[in-house]
Chain A
Amino acid sequence: MKVYFFHLMPYADLDLAQVDKHGSAWINLPNANFDPEKGRLLYERYIGELELGDALGFDGICVNEHHQTAYGLMPAPNLIAAALARSTRQARICILGRALPLVGNPVAIAEEFAMLDHLSGGRIITGFVRGIGTEYFSGSVNPTFSHERFYEAHELILQAWTRPGPFAYRGKHYQFDYVNLWPRPIQQPHPPVWIPSQGSMETIVWAAASERRYTYLQTFSPYPQALKAFRAYRDCALSEGYEPAPSQMGWAAPVYVAESDGQARRELAPHVENFFNKFIKFPSLEMRLPPGYSSIASTKALMSAKFEARANATIDTLMDQGIILCGSPQTVLKRILHCQGEMGFGHFLAMLQIGAQPADMTDRSLRLFASQVMPHLKSHNDHSALERAPA
C-alpha cells in the first residue's frame, strides 16, 4: 500500500461562534473573520507540516481546492504544490483535485500541471473534480452544465498533454483554434489522473471505464458507503473486462493517533466534532446541491442520506460510522488493514490535520503514524480477499 498525508489547510483560528451566527463556514461567512497575519502563520505552518510528511517518508503529500471558505485556504492548490515542488525531494505531490468546470480555460490547467510536473521532477499526481456545489455559487458557473464542462475540460486537458500540437479543439463549452502546450509534461504519456469523489455512481462508472482506469479516491464517507463505492468500481471494471489493480483505488479519511486509544479519543474529540459540525457547515442543502449539479435521482439520494448522517456529529458516531480513524497506532493499523481487506484499495490517504487541531498535536500524531503505522501499511500485500474471491 502507498501512504499519503492529505492536508486541507483550514483556517484553524476560526471563531466558531461566527459559524453559528452566520449559519455556515462557506460562501457567506464574512471574510472580516479572516485575520491576514494569522493566515500567513497558518500557511507557514501547514506547508511545514507537509514538508515534514515528505521527510518522514510518506509516499505522497496532498492538497485540494475549495473556494470562499474557512474549511480550506487553497483556492489555488497549484501554488502550494509549486512551493512543495521546490522544498521536497521524495514524496509525490498530489493535487486532489482541480475543479475543472469552474474555469473558462482548461488549457491553463493543462499548462499549470505540466509546469508543476517539471518543477517537481515528475512527481505530481493530478486530480480532476467537478468542485462541490457551493463552488458554483462562488464561481458563478452554471451548475446545470457541470457534468458537460467536466467531461469536456477533461478531454481537452488530456489532448493538450498527449496530442502533438498545434491542434484545434471544438467542444460545446470550450473551443480553441490553437492548442500547443509548452511545456509538455515530463511524465509520459501524462501525469497520473485521480478522481476524488464521495461516491457518485456516474463518477465511478466513468473513472473505471477501460480506456481511463483512473484511480478512484473515496473521501469522507461512512464505512458502508465507501465499501459500496469500491465494490461498484470493481464491478464496473469487471464488466469492462478487466480486474482493477489496488492502485486504482484510494481511500481518504481523517486519522489521529496517540499513545493509547483513550488518549487519542480524548485529544481529538473537540477538534473532530468542530470540524464536522462547524467547518463543514454549509449555508443550506440547496447551496451544497445546486440545481442541475447532479441528476434528480442522485440529488434525492444525497438529500436523504449523507447530509443527515453528519448532523450533530460526535467522535463516537464518527468512529462508529467509520468516517474517521482514531486510537493507538495498533488500533488504527488494525482498522486500516481490516478496511483494506474489505475494500481492496492500494492508496491510503491520512488526513492528519483537521479543523483547529493545533500544531503540537498534529506533529505528534504525524510522527507516531509515520513511525508505527505507516511501515506496516507500506509492506502490506494489497491483493485483498475481495480480489481473490472467485467471480
Chain B
Amino acid sequence: MQATSINVRAVTVPALEAGSGRALLYLHGIDGPRVNPMLEALAQSHRVTAPEFPGFGTSRLPEWLDGIEDAALFGLDLAEALGAEPLHLAGHSIGGWIAAEMALRNPRRFASLSLISPLGAQPVAPAATDIFALPPEAALRAQFFDPALAELEIAARAGEEIDITLQNRAGLARLGWTPRLASLRLPRWLRRISAPTLILWGADDTIAPAECADVFMREIPRAEIIRYARCGHALPNEKGAEAAAAIAAFIAGARA
C-alpha cells in the first residue's frame, strides 16, 4: 500500500492507499495504522483509504480530541474530505466503534458499514483482559486465538519504535478509558444507523467479548453477522482472507 496524506480542515492525516474500484474508508484498530491480510485482500477489489487516526501512530493527542464524540465528528470531516461519491465505511476494534459513531450521526453518508470486532459496547461482566494493564507483547498475544499468528505479528513489529506503541495506547485511552472501551450512550443511538451493516466477530475475542455483538445486532436495523470460530480480537490477521471476501460480497450486494 502507498503512503499518502489527506487534508482534513487544518489537520494533515497520513494514510495508506491502494487499489481501485469502489471507495472504502478503513479505520484502524487499537494498534494503529498498519497493513494486515484483510486490508491487503480488500485492496485487490476496492480503492482503500486507511488513515492514521489523530492520536495514534506517529501523531500526538490533538487538543480537540476529548473523546469518542470528537473522533466521530472528525471521522465525518475526513469522509467529506475524500469526496462526494458513495463511500463504504469499515473499521476494526476502536475503528469499528468510531465508524458506528460516525454512521449514527450521519446515516445517509455511507453506502455500507462493516464493523469488525468493534469496541464500544460494554460487556455484562468486565472483559477478561484489561489491555491497558498488559505489557505490549502480552497485549498483542491477548488479541489472538492462534499463538503462532501472535508470534508472527510480534516478530513483524520487532524493529518498530516503542513511541508508536505508546502513542497508540494513549490514543486508545483518550477515547476509551472510562468506561473501559465502551460507551453507555452508544446502544441508545445505534438504531439511527440506516446503512446496510455487516458485523464480523471472533468467538474467542477477550478484548471485545463476543456477547457485545448482540448489542450491535439488536440495535442496528439492517445488520447481519458472521461469527468466526477460533478467532480472537485480531480478526483482520486471523481471518483476513475470509473477512475480506465477506466484506467484498457485502459491499457488492449493498450497491445493488
Kindly state whether residue B167 has any CB partner on chain A within 8 Å.
Answer: yes
Task: Decide if A31 is an interface residue (CB 8 Å cutoff).
Answer: no
Determine whether the beta carbon of B163 is less than 8 Å from that of A296: yes
| Alpha-carbon distance A141/B178, docked complex (angstroms) | 7
Interface string of A136-158 (1 = CB under 8 A from B): 11001111100000000000000
Asked if residues B166 and A291 are in contact (CB atoms below 8 Å), the reply is: yes
Q: When each residue 251-291 of chain A gets 1 if its CB lies under 8 Å from chain B and 0 otherwise, what string results?
A: 00000000000000000000000000000000111110011
Q: How far is the CB of B94 from chain A (nearest CB, A)?
A: 13
Which residues of B does A touch, CB under 8 Å? 61, 132-135, 162-163, 166-167, 169-170, 172-174, 177-178
Q: Is A292 an interface residue (CB 8 A)?
A: yes
Contacts A142-B177, A296-B167, A299-B166: A291 and B172 contacting too (C-beta < 8 A)?
yes
A306 at the interface (CB under 8 A from B): no
Establish whether residues B173 and A287, one from each chain, have CB atoms under 8 Å apart when the complex forms: no
Contact flag A300-B135 (CB < 8 Å), given A142-B173, A144-B174: no
Task: Let me know if B178 and A291 touch, CB within 8 A.
Answer: no
Q: From A284, A292, A300, give the contact of B170 (CB < 8 A).
A: A292
A286→B133 contact, CB < 8 A: yes
> Once the chains are docked, how many angstroms separate the CA of A286 from the CA of B172?
14
A-B contact pairs, 25 of them (CB 8 A): A137-B132, A140-B178, A141-B177, A141-B178, A142-B174, A143-B177, A144-B61, A144-B170, A144-B173, A144-B174, A283-B133, A284-B134, A284-B135, A285-B135, A286-B134, A287-B133, A290-B132, A291-B170, A291-B173, A292-B169, A292-B173, A292-B174, A299-B166, A300-B163, A300-B166
Bound-complex Cα distance A143 to B135 (A): 17
Residues of A within 8 A of B167 (CB): 296
Report yes or no: B173 in contact with A290, Cβ–Cβ below 8 A. Answer: yes
A143 interface neighbour in B134, B163, B166, B173, Cβ under 8 Å = B173
**In the assembled complex, which residues on chain A have CB atoms less than 8 Å from the CB atom of B174?**
142, 144, 292
Among candidates B133, B162, B177, B178, residue contacting A300 with C-beta atoms closer than 8 Å: B162
Chain B residues near A287: list those with CB within 8 A: 132-133
The residue that B135 contacts in the complex, of A137, A286, A296, with Cβ under 8 A, is A286
Q: Which A residues lie within 8 Å of B163 (CB)?
A: 296, 300
Instruction: Give the distance in Å from the alpha carbon of A189 to the alpha carbon of B174 in the complex.
Output: 37
Q: Which residues of A contact B178 (CB under 8 A)?
A: 140-142
- CB-CB under 8 A from A141, the residues of chain B are 177-178
Partner of B169, one of A140, A142, A284, A291: A291
Counting chain A residues whose Cβ lies within 8 A of the other chain, the interface size class is: 10 to 19
Residues in chain A near residue B170, CB distance under 8 A? 144, 291-292, 296
- B140 to nearest A CB, angstroms? 13
Smallest CB separation, A287 vs chain B (Å): 5
Secondary structure class of chain A's binding surface, majority of residues: helix
A residues within 8 A CB of B172?
Answer: 291
- List, in ascending order, chain B residues with CB within 8 A of A292's CB: 61, 169-170, 173-174
B-contact bits for A293-315, CB 8 A (1 contact / 0 none): 00010011001000000000000
Q: Are B135 and A144 in contact (CB under 8 A)?
A: no
Instruction: Enumerate chain B residues within 8 angstroms of A291, measured Cβ to Cβ.
Output: 132, 166, 169-170, 172-173
CB distance from A276 to the nearest CB of B (A): 21
Shortest CB-to-CB span from B165 to chain A, Å, is: 10
Q: Roughly how many angstroms separate A140 CA and B166 CA in the complex, as a whole number?
A: 19
Q: In the bound complex, how far is the Cα of B13 from the Cα of A16, in angstroms?
A: 51
- Once A296-B166, A299-B166, A300-B162 are accepted as A-B contacts, the answer to whether A286 and B177 lie under 8 Å apart by CB is no
State the 6 A-B residue pairs at the shortest beta-carbon distance, nearest first: A291-B169, A291-B173, A292-B170, A142-B177, A291-B170, A144-B174
CA distance A300 to B178 in the complex (A): 25
A303: chain B residues at CB < 8 Å are 162
- Which residues on the A side are within 8 Å of B132 (C-beta)? 137, 286-287, 290-291
B133 lies within 8 A of A284 (CB): yes
Enumerate chain B residues within 8 angstroms of A300, measured Cβ to Cβ: 162-163, 166
> Of all chain A residues, which has the CB nearest B60?
A296
- A366 to B10 alpha-carbon distance, docked (Å): 62
Q: How far is the CA of A291 from the CA of B163 in the complex (A)?
A: 11
Neighbouring B residues of A285 by C-beta, 8 Å: 135
Please, which residue of chain A has its CB at the minimum distance from the CB of B166?
A296
Q: Which residues of B contact A140 (CB under 8 A)?
A: 177-178
**Can you add 14 more A-B contacts, CB < 8 Å, to A291-B132, A292-B174, A296-B170?**
A137-B132, A141-B178, A142-B173, A142-B178, A144-B173, A144-B174, A144-B177, A284-B134, A285-B135, A286-B134, A287-B132, A287-B133, A300-B166, A303-B162
A residues near B166, Cβ cutoff 8 Å: 291, 296, 299-300
Give the residues in chain B near A290, CB-CB below 8 Å.
Answer: 132, 173
Query: Which single residue of chain B is at the shortest CB-CB distance from A172?
Result: B66
A144 proximity list for chain B (CB < 8 A): 61, 170, 173-174, 177
How near does chain A come to B106, taking the closest CB pair, in angstroms?
A: 27
Q: How far is the CA of A137 from the CA of B132 in the complex (A)?
A: 9
Q: How far is the CA of A292 from the CA of B133 in the complex (A)?
A: 13
Cα separation A136 to B178 with both chains bound (whole Å): 10
Shortest B143–chain A CB gap in Å is 15
A142 to B172, CA, bound (A): 11
In the complex, the chain A residue whose C-beta lies closest to that of B138 is: A284
Bound state CA distance, A284 and B136, in angstroms?
A: 11
Min CB distance A302 to B, Å, is 11
Q: Which residues of A contact B162 (CB under 8 A)?
A: 300, 303
Q: What residue of chain A has the Cβ atom nearest to residue B164's Cβ?
A: A296
A290 to chain B, nearest CB (A): 6
Q: Which residues of A contact B133 (CB under 8 A)?
A: 137, 283-284, 286-287
Which residue of B has the minimal Cβ distance to A303? B162
- Cα-based distance from A303 to B178 in the complex (angstroms): 25
Contact with B along A117-145 (1 / 0, CB 8 A): 00000000000000000001100111110
Determine the residue in chain B with the shortest Cβ distance to A297.
B163
- Interchain CA distance A296-B55 in the complex, whole Å: 13
Residue from B133, B135, B163, B172 whose CB has the most chain A CB atoms within 10 Å: B133
